[in-house]
Amino acid sequence: MRSFMYTIKVPVGLHARHAGLLVKAASLYQSAVTVSRGDKSADGKRILGLMGLGVRQGDVIRVDIDGPDEDVAALRIKAFLWENF
């Protein structure tokens, strides 16, 4: 399993459009992607779960990736977050 932390920088946080982009990026991989904020967690491949986390600007999320392509998925999802969030 690979994990990393990321601080959300966009002013609107993880709202519908951004959550949809993250779901699209996570869905490219076979590995399970879990996004957590505090004591809440959600499947990174499900938009409603991500939006339910209530992530705002400045919040730190944890991304856990577990599966056959976790190394590549972790690198690319982290890069995706840096470019878009």
CA distance 6 to 67: 20
Task: Determine whether 76 is exposed, middle or buried from the number of CB atoms within 10 Å of its CB (0-12, 13-18, 19+).
Answer: middle
Q: Which residues are part of the catalytic machinery? A: 15
Distances (CA, A) of 14 to 21, 64, 66, 71: 10, 17, 22, 24
